Structure 1
Amino acid sequence: MSRSLPAVADEALAPVRMALRAAARADAAAVLRKAQQEKSDLLADARRTADEIEVTARAEGAADATAAVTARLAQSRRDARRTVLRTQRELFDELRRRCRAAATALAESPGYEELRRRLTERALAQLGPDATVTESRGGGVLASAGSRQLDLSLPTLAERALDWSGAEVARLWTP
């Protein structure tokens, strides 16, 4: 079960989300157009091949032709689907990489000190005032209190935000 980000972290990440979503949508649209074109080309090739098979198969018998065409079209659909899924996975991996990079870049932004202060407050609120809070190498903070640990590093927060927006990301694949 995923938990919502605290309001302050959610507000602080809102511009990042908006920028990442816009970039992701643009990237997704371009990749999907390419995948759909590849799919169309594959289906067109498969249809051409199926037509050739059908002409040859008619001479050998109508039953053999129907089976061969059906099998070839099914394989073409599977191949096209694999291509679309592979492209979607590549795009999602690229989106994840860009989200992490954009989140890490926040550590260089003018408002970073305020964000770090808020993350520190959040860590202390969750783990208690005696928690040890250190700056994360990628920006944000890491906290621990006894055996409990809390990762509020910027890359981790970006990953969580991307995971929580799974439905929004899935809409990128929907025509």
Structure 2
Amino acid sequence: MSELACTTAPSIGPAVRRGEEDTEAALRPVGAELLRRAAADADAIVATARADARAAVTDAQEQAAAITERARAAGVARAATHRAAEQRRLRREQRAALLAAQRDVYDQWRRQGAAAVLRLSAEPDWQHLRDLLRAKAIQLLGPEAEIVADPAGGFVARYGGRRLDLRLSTVAARALDTVEPELTGLWT
């Protein structure tokens, strides 16, 4: 059998330990300097990052404010356009309503005026007015004029190529046409 020999590693002596301690002591200022520089670099990087972040936030706020202002201005412009269109629409509606009311008043005036003239044939002095119309027809066309009575009142007289319409409905329309220009003052 063989004997196992046990060998132990040589022990590190005090001189080696002292050399390591001297090396560590000599490297401490270098390590401290490296640590200081690393800390300074880290502080500079953090400061730059914070400044960049502040600048980015400021830029984003300015952009947001500009976007908000453009949106507000666009909204105001859109609202003004809508308001102007709505006002035009309302003015058109008001104008249409006014014109419709004026037309109704005008039509009613024409109907009532024509009806008033047509009622002349029911008046007690109608025969006298009828005789005046006949005399006017004879005066204008001559005694040979053909005079035909209108069932609603009045006459149509003809002679040669001439025709005289003295029907009450025609007389009423002419009378209303004569007075009509005076009505324009009612609408202004």
TM over 0.5: yes
Q: List alignment gaps of at least 5 residues for structure 1.
A: 1-56
Which structure is richer in relative contact order (CA contacts within 8 A, separation 6 or more)? 1
2:89 maps to amino acid: Q
Deviation at 1:62, TM superposition (A): 1.3
Matched, 1:123 2:144: no
Q: Which entry has the higher C-alpha Rg, 1 or 2?
A: 2
Aligned length: 118
User: For the Cα contact (< 8 Å) 1:142–1:152, is it kept in 2?
Assistant: yes
Cα distance in structure 2, aligned partners of 1:115 and 1:58: 77
1:135 maps to amino acid: A
2:112 maps to amino acid: R
Q: Which residue of 1 aligns with 2:182?
A: 168
Q: Which moved more, 1:165-174 or 1:83-92?
A: 165-174
2:111 maps to amino acid: R
What are the superposed Cα offsets for residues 104-130 of structure 1, whole Å, 9 maximum, x if unpaired? 110011111111111111111111111
Q: 1:94 aligns with which of 108, 113, 118?
A: 108
Matched, 1:74 2:88: yes
Q: How well do the aligned residues superpose, as a CA RMSD in angstroms?
A: 1.8
Cα distance in structure 2, aligned partners of 1:140 and 1:134: 9
Matched, 1:105 2:119: yes
What are the superposed Cα offsets for residues 27-58 of structure 1, whole Å, 9 maximum, x if unpaired? xxxxxxxxxxxxxxxxxxxxxxxxxxxxxx96
Give the TM-score taking structure 1 as reference length.
Answer: 0.62
Deviation at 1:173, TM superposition (A): 2.3
Q: List alignment gaps of at least 5 residues for structure 2.
A: 1-70
Structure 1 residue runs of 4 or more that deviate by more than 3 Å after TM superposition: 57-60
User: Is the partner of 2:187 in helix, strand or coil?
Assistant: coil
User: Is the partner of 2:110 in helix, strand or coil?
Assistant: helix
Q: Which residue of 2 aligns with 1:114?
A: 128
Q: 1:85 aligns with which of 71, 76, 99?
A: 99
Q: Which residue of 1 aligns with 2:9?
A: none
Q: 1:158 aligns with which of 172, 176, 179?
A: 172
2:82 maps to amino acid: A
Deviation at 1:172, TM superposition (A): 2.6
Q: Which residue of 2 aligns with 1:62?
A: 76
What are the superposed Cα offsets for residues 7-30 of structure 1, whole Å, 9 maximum, x if unpaired? xxxxxxxxxxxxxxxxxxxxxxxx
User: For the Cα contact (< 8 Å) 1:58–1:65, is it kept in 2?
Assistant: no
1:93 maps to amino acid: D
2:164 maps to amino acid: L
Q: Which residue of 2 aligns with 1:136?
A: 150
Q: Which residue of 1 aligns with 2:160?
A: 146
In structure 2, do the counterparts of structure 1 residues 66 and 147 end up closer, same or farther at CA, with 3 Å as the change threshold?
same
